[in-house]
Amino acid sequence: MTNSQLRLTRRKTPILFLLLLFPFLASAQKKITGQITDAETKSPVFKAAIMIKGTQKGTYSDEKGQYSIDAPAGSTLLFTSMEYDNTEVTVGADNTINIALKPKVSGLNEVVVIGYGTVKRKDLTGAIASLKAADLKTEGVSNVGRSLQGRLPGVTVESAGGDPGSGTRILIRGVGTLNNADPLYLVDGVQVANINNIAPGDIESMDVLKDASAAAIYGSRAANGVVLVTTKSGKAGKPVFNFRTNVGSQKLAKKYEVLNAEEWATVSNAAHDAGNGGAGLPRLDIAANPSTLGAGTDWQDAIYRTAPIQQYYLGVSGGSDYSRYSVSGEYTDQAGIVDVTGYKRYGIRAKTESTKGILKFGQTFLATREKWIRMSDGWGGQGGNAVGSAMKMIPTYKIYDTSAIGGYSGASGSVVNIPNPVALLHLEDVSYELVSFLANAYAEVALRPYLKYKFNMGYTTSFGQTDDYVRRHEVGNLFIQQTNDMSREKERNQMVLLENTLNFNKDFGKHSIQALVGYSYQKTNYNYNLMAKTNLPDGIKELDAASGTASVGGNSVESILLSTLGRVIYAYDNRYLLTASFRRDGSSRFGASNRFGNFPSVAVGWNINNEHFWHVDPSIVSSLKLRASYGILGNQEIGDYQYSAAIASNINYVIGDAQQKWFGAIQTAYSSPNIKWENTATTNVGVDVSFLKGSLNASVDYFFKKTTDVLLNVPIPGSAGSSTNPVVNAGTIQNKGIELGLNYSNHIGEFNYTVFGTISSVKNKVIELGTGTQQIFGGQPTHHGASSTLTEAGGEVTGFYLIKTLGIFQSQDEINAYKDKNGNLIQPYAAPGDIKFLDANGDGIISSADRVHMGSPFPDFEYGVGLNLSAFHFDLNIYMQGVSGNKIYNGVRQDMEGMNLEYNYAKTTLQAWTPEHHTNMPRAVIDDPNLNAQTSSRFLESGTYFRMKTLQLGYTIPESLNARLHTTSVRAYLSADNLFTLTRYSGFNADIGRSGSILDRGVDYGHVAYPLARVFSAGIQLSF
């Protein structure tokens, strides 16, 4: 080797050595220390995970948020906590890395609205179910109440009918009263009658307070639960516009199968031939020749139609750090699937919030105008509305008769007085218009950073007007009216709310305290007026134009509620939680000695995962919280002035030979001066747990609810001097149940998915009622049927109470063998093919005394299941819900399968029993001596159903296109609502809706039916 080569080798040696050593230097460990804090509160984050990305090596922060880890230079540290967004940092030259984690918008840091304030979900001790705006964005329905159906455990949402704008009825944790069981609804803190007129696009969140701990701050008004609706507020920044439109088509989901003209005549003739004890009755002339009649008139086809629905929404929001706004307008036009019927809604909303120094003030204004075009309830007789009449109307009759007054044909002769349903829709105009205003304004002063005083003023008013105009008509020979008549009803509701609250919110080291005290004043007024006249000229709908009889009436009521309230929410070290509240209400609905009620509650919570002994890997169990609460709530939902005697004036009479008129008055209602608050005590135990780093979340609650001093009407003899039964405290009802909510979210590459579900089970029982033997009957299923439900001590609220059927007598020998203990025939008027009824009390006679408990209108459990998928700008949203184990009394079937009256029958009657063809359908007999069609378990059916409620496919355009279109987001979708229902129930809709009375629950009353529609729609959601 030459000298020059030697010198070169010596120069290269250190370089080669360093190159060989570099991998070892790069992997040299260095000790990294630091503190992890909350980016907003600056408080330390306990048990945050610190991992070296791509390895299994990691550690946790201690209670001071401090950590220590050995990591190679150039490696990446991943900081995670289920309450915060993930953060990554590359290890460089510094040995100290402090991290401020940003709280997640959702999860345990999600803000939940509670009474008079908010709280983070991790600090929540009460049972509260919530929906956010994102949960409602895929709904294609016009009514927000329907969006709740099956989504919240313990919250039962039922349709109030299928007619346009019908809304929903909501029950929270079963029925704890025999009066109004509706929850308390509040929109931005102001009480409203319902939330059916709130546009889904206006809603920021919906929170349902279920247990006493959550709801007791509302005291007297919260016994049936509380639904809090918070509308959207503006955010700092440039104006953001949101536009939504949804256009669709509605079709009849299920048609009731009835007989055509030829089939009806065949069954009618068989029924007449079997009448009069088998000797036969004269056949109807219109049924003389069945084979010549053909199909006849399809009355259901004559009234149903494919109906359009359209919805439009436009909102704008924005503001600065000091002032924010959110303004919106919406329009809904929903035609009904029954001809003529429809619903329109116009709405505007404005919400602002401003801050000036220590002063903060804001307001919400909401105005809606709604108009319903409705069906007539009927013209008397036994047909009911157009839907009920279309099923019963005999198909041999025609729709039109140009020679008749009004132009419509109708039933005539010796048949049941069922009106022509098309004539019902076109000869009577029924409309209801409701204009509603909600105004709320508040001012808040920060006396200290931790002490704020707030004055809140709310006002709601609504003006309702019903116009009912009946044209003169001659529809057959059963419905004749010679004059045009009109009535107008007007009603007005007003509510004024004034609230003063003082709120304290401060942290002391590991201690956190929220304290609230307040005073509330609420005054409600209601006015009603009726005006009616007969004999109006054709085509004129003004009362002044009438020349006939005039009728007037009216009344008004007023009530006041005064309340004081207080609450303390305490948390220690993010581990131990305590909530205590108290409210004292005074109501004018009770006498002076019982006017005030006290409603306390207490709840505790334990975040076990924040304990020092907790060492479970967050990838297995991320969080675990136990909750328990107890509280008392009140109910005052009875009529006003029930504690005092009612006197009717202008009761005049004539005496003496001169027939002199004397003016007088009479007592019409017995006074109940001792009535007092109805109280509901609720115990709740719950568990909230998260798994798999927060991907899987579950919440389980068990509750026991007992209502004492139930307010109810107790029968008294007329000799007591009252035409009505007085209200007294005479009942105890208990409810208990369990609720489960689950949610799992994850992703696989570009594929994101969320699966969620709820399941609830509630059981109720009447412990005592009235004098101990009182029975409350309800649920009349037909125009002429007996009641079908019973509420009494030892049973449940409105359980089915029916004569039990035992099949069909197949022979005279079976009838002769069915005897009482004395050898007498129990059903002496029966013939082969008739129903066999159970003689439950053994007296040898089938009567109402033989009714027995036959099931419940309340399901064993109800559930909802949803699946949201998204990938490559497409999203698929599926939502299903159902109930199981409940019963429905099918009053429609009782009418349509009776075969004892002169109207049309169900298609199933073609299988009526005959001597040659033995079936489960009893024989056709027009006078029905055995009472086969009486109210009995024959018409009680399973109410279990499973419904594909929403199926929606959407597409959101890529970000690159947004830049070109100057938009923020554009989404288009196709949606199907009420796509199909799996059920054994034979009626229109297993999710039935009738009236607001709890005593009618589960009873399908065909007189006021309106079928549910299947909806197909397309929509666009646009932000710019």
104: confidence class by pLDDT, cuts 50, 70, 90:
low
**Residue 129, phi then psi, degrees to nearest 5:** -110, 140
According to the model, what pLDDT value does residue 159 have? 72
Strand pairing class (99-101; 29-38): parallel
Tell me how many degrees the CA angle 160-1016-993 measures, rounded to the nearest 5.
10
Cβ atoms of 675 and 643 within 8 Å: the answer is yes
Q: Residue 660 has what pLDDT? A: 73
Token pair listed for 498:
């004034």
pLDDT of residue 18: 41
406, 728, 843, 926 from 410: Cα distances, Å: 11, 49, 46, 22
Predicted local confidence at residue 26, as pLDDT: 42
Cα separation, 119 vs 110, whole angstroms = 8
> How far apart are alpha carbons 659 and 344 in whole angstroms?
56
- Res 584: pLDDT: 94
Confidence of residue 833 (pLDDT cuts 50, 70, 90): very high
Tell me the Cα Rg of the chain.
35
Other Cβ atoms less than 10 A from the Cβ of 197: the count is 25
Helix (H) or strand (E) holding 285: none
Closest residue by Cα to residue 938 from 956, 954, 920: 920
Confidence of residue 92 (pLDDT cuts 50, 70, 90): confident
Looking at per-residue pLDDT, the higher value among 837 and 644 belongs to 837
**Banded model confidence at residue 315, pLDDT cuts 50, 70, 90:** very high
CA neighbor of 985 nearest in space, from 882, 899, 905: 882
What is the spatial distance between Cα 1011 and Cα 387, in angstroms, rounded to a whole number?
8
Q: Is the pLDDT of residue 1009 over 60?
A: yes
**What does the pLDDT read at residue 1008?**
82
Question: How far are the Cα atoms of 252, 340, 397, 400, 402 from residue 473, in angstroms, in the given order?
Answer: 30, 18, 17, 12, 12
* pLDDT score of 20: 42
What torsion do the CA atoms of 247, 253, 255, 256 make, to the nearest 10 degrees? -140
What pLDDT sits at residue 170? 83
What average pLDDT does this structure show over 804-822?
Answer: 95
The C-alpha atoms of residue 577 and residue 610 are separated, in whole angstroms, by: 12
Arithmetic mean of pLDDT, 828-856: 96
Cβ atoms of 863 and 150 within 8 Å: the answer is yes
- Of 239, 510, 466, 484, give the one whose Cα is nearest residue 374: 466
Given a contact cutoff of 8 angstroms between Cβ atoms, the answer to whether 927 and 900 are in contact is: yes
Weakest mean pLDDT among 105-114, 515-524, 539-548, 720-729: 105-114
The amino acid present at 614, given as its one-letter code, is W
Largest CA distance in the chain: 160
Pair 778, 789: CB distance under 8 Å: yes
Q: How far apart are CA 711 and CA 311, in angstroms?
A: 42
Q: Which of 699, 647, 639 is nearest to 675 (CA)?
A: 639
User: Chain centroid to CA 692: how far?
Assistant: 33
What was the pLDDT predicted at 17?
41
State the average pLDDT over residues 890-917. 95
Matching residue, tokens 């009349």: 780
Contact call for residues 374 and 430 (beta carbons, < 8 A): yes
pLDDT value for 537: 95
Of 703, 701, 702, 709, residue with least CA distance to 682? 703
Task: Say how many C-beta atoms besides its own lie within 10 A of residue 753's C-beta.
Answer: 15
What is the pTM assigned to this prediction? 0.85
Paired tokens of 371: 């108009």
CA pair distance 146, 872, nearest whole angstrom: 30
**What would the mean pLDDT of 46-69 be, rounded to a whole number?**
84
Token couple for 37: 């804090």
277 burial type by CB count under 10 A (0-12 exposed, 13-18 middle, 19+ buried): exposed
Strands (E), 844-898: 852-855, 861-871, 874-884, 887-890
What type of residue sits at position 581? S
Upper half-sphere CA count for residue 267 (Cβ side, 13 Å): 30
Place 365 in a pLDDT band, splitting at 50, 70 and 90: very high
- Helix, strand, or coil here: 443? strand
Under DSSP, the state recorded for 15 is H
CA distances from 922 to 236, 458, 928, 938 (A): 72, 61, 10, 10
Structure tokens at 764: 């109720």
Q: What is the DSSP letter of 575?
A: T
> In this structure, are residues 325 and 318 in contact, taking their beta carbons and an 8 Å threshold?
yes
The H-or-E segment that residue 8 falls in is: helix 3-26
Mean pLDDT, rounded, for 491-513: 94
Q: Are 584 and 566 in contact (CB under 8 A)?
A: no
Q: Does the pLDDT value for residue 109 go beyond 50?
A: yes
Q: For the residues 850-877, what does the mean pLDDT come to? A: 94
Q: What is the pLDDT of residue 454?
A: 96
For the segment 913-961, what is each residue's pLDDT rounded down to a tens digit? 999 999 999 999 999 999 999 999 999 999 999 999 889 999 999 988 8
291, two tokens: 């084979």
Distance of CA 245 to the CA centre of its chain: 24
CA 122 to chain centre: 27
Please say whether the beta carbons of 351 and 975 come within 8 A. Answer: no
d(CA 384, CA 1006): 8
Over pLDDT 90: what percentage of the chain?
60
Q: 524: which 2 tokens?
A: 């409600």
Residue 196 has pLDDT above 90, yes or no: no
Q: Label residue 718 by pLDDT band (50, 70, 90).
A: low
Return d(Cα 482, Cα 472) in angstroms, integer: 5
DSSP reduced 3-state for 707: strand
Is 417:383 a contact under the CB 8 Å cutoff?
Answer: yes
Higher pLDDT, 45 or 756: 756
Contact 801, 744 (CB under 8 A): no
Contact call for residues 255 and 339 (beta carbons, < 8 A):
no
Q: Do 734 and 705 contact (CB within 8 A), yes or no?
A: yes
Q: Which pLDDT score is estimated for 106?
A: 46
CA pair distance 882, 948, nearest whole angstrom: 9
Q: Which of 149-158, 752-761, 769-778, 991-1000 has the lowest mean pLDDT?
A: 991-1000
| Rounded (5°) CA angle 85-86-91 | 145
The pLDDT, as a whole number, for residue 558 is 94
In this prediction, residue 544 carries a pLDDT of: 92
Which run of H or E residues covers position 894? helix 891-896
Which of 496-500, 508-512, 977-981 is modeled with the greatest confidence?
Answer: 496-500
* 804-811 mean pLDDT: 96
The two structure tokens encoding residue 392: 């019963």
Q: What is the dihedral of CA 721, 726, 729, 731, to 10 degrees?
A: 110
Does 711 score more than 50 pLDDT?
yes
